[in-house]
Structure 1
Amino acid sequence: MKDTALVVIDILNTYEHEDADALVRSVRGTLPAVEQLIKRARDASVPVIYVNDNFGQWRSHHGELVEAALAGRHPELVESIVPDEDSLFVVKARHSIFYETPLNYLLGQLGVQHLVLCGQVTEQCILYSALDAHIRHFDVSIAPQTVAHIDPELADAALRMMETNMSTTLFQPDELAFDNTKA
């Protein structure tokens, strides 16, 4: 896939919120596929862009968000997927990766036209981000095994909506061939 970026959404989490227990159960199931997707993107030199909530800490930067997540209730869900030195990082305050962030500009600078989304939460931030990507004319792909949810029924409905209404491609994690070489 040419002009592709992997966008890792809200994966840095302290798990100190109301729905954390339900989310943790789902994250445990998705973590191996997320780890593999990140590794494959990095190995193919595909940009890996972390877009993460700021936990309401308006003076924080990505290093502090990583530290907060590692100091949270479930560091084992964070340790293997922290951004490396080549990863890009965008801080967000609300559900969509695009809302009031510089992500659209960054993607334009990188020449990205196709977004592979993974992370948390399927029926919230993933859904709203896929919608915002769709209305900005990005192609979007999601492996359901790489998105964690709070409510499994809402997550399934969100994935169906993304596929049907937003032309999102749903794929198996091993089906996607990352290839950003120019023809």
Structure 2
Amino acid sequence: MTDTALVVIDMLNTYEHEDADALVPSVREALPSVRRLIGQARSASAPVIHVNDNFGRWRSHHGELVASALAGRHPELVEPVAPDEDSLFVVKARHSTFYGTPLDYLLGQLGVRHLVLCGQVTEQCVLYSALDAHIRHFDVSVDPRAVAHIDPELADAALRMMETNMSAVLIRPGDSVFGTARA
């Protein structure tokens, strides 16, 4: 059993918003690394937890969010990372994966102490989730290749902030983050 979980942030997206055209190229670039992390987590029997905006649809459930994203402008960016039957799912309404969600409770029930964050958007939801995880005393890792951004300069600054101010580990090629409990 591992104390590490993968948190996949906001990868279910219709790409029908004002920043979509700036975001899509970065999502295309990050997608293979997000898929790689999902595969590594599943191989290590680590929890894969999708945390996603509900886009203001307060009666929606994860199946409906998946269907909406797949019916959106870029289903090819959604389908490869859509939650499977073993994935856990948390709906969020704001930027942080923790704000107003049961994520903290779920992680406690799973015995998770280390979060690997991936998804979108680096300078927004990933950054705020890393901060909220840090103040809750979780160890945090982020793979810079598995996060997508709108603004590359802000994304670089966000990654530096996570590493410097939140003690986040930036995963490098070849690093192993799943499989064994951290001390």
Give the TM-score, by structure 1 length: 0.97
Q: Residues 162 and 177 of structure 1: is their aligned pair in 2 closer, same or farther, counting only changes over 3 Å?
A: closer
Q: Residues 99 and 173 of structure 1: is their aligned pair in 2 closer, same or farther, counting only changes over 3 Å?
A: farther
Identity, in percent, stands at: 78
- What SS does structure 1 have at the residue aligned with 2:63? helix
Misfit runs of 4+, over 4 Å: 180-183
* Cα deviation, residue 15, structure 1: 0.2
The aligned counterpart of 2:124 is: 124
Structure 1: gaps (5+ residues): none
Q: Residues 115 and 173 of structure 1: is their aligned pair in 2 closer, same or farther, counting only changes over 3 Å?
A: farther
Q: Residues 130 and 177 of structure 1: is their aligned pair in 2 closer, same or farther, counting only changes over 3 Å?
A: closer
Matches within 5 A, 1:82-93: 82-93=82-93
The aligned counterpart of 2:170 is: 170
The aligned counterpart of 1:161 is: 161
Note the alpha carbon deviations across 1:99-153, whole angstroms, 9 max, x for none: 0000000000000000000000000000000000000000000010000000000
* Cα deviation, residue 3, structure 1: 0.3
Q: Is the 8 A contact 1:45 1:180 kept in 2?
A: no
Structure 2: gaps (5+ residues): none
Paired residue total: 183
The aligned counterpart of 1:106 is: 106
* Cα deviation, residue 55, structure 1: 1.1
Q: Which one-letter code corresponds to 1:10 in the other structure?
A: D
Q: Is the 8 A contact 1:123 1:154 kept in 2?
A: yes
Give the TM-score, by structure 2 length: 0.97
The aligned counterpart of 1:9 is: 9
* Cα deviation, residue 2, structure 1: 3.8
* Cα deviation, residue 177, structure 1: 3.8
* Cα deviation, residue 174, structure 1: 3.3
Superposition CA RMSD, Å: 1.5
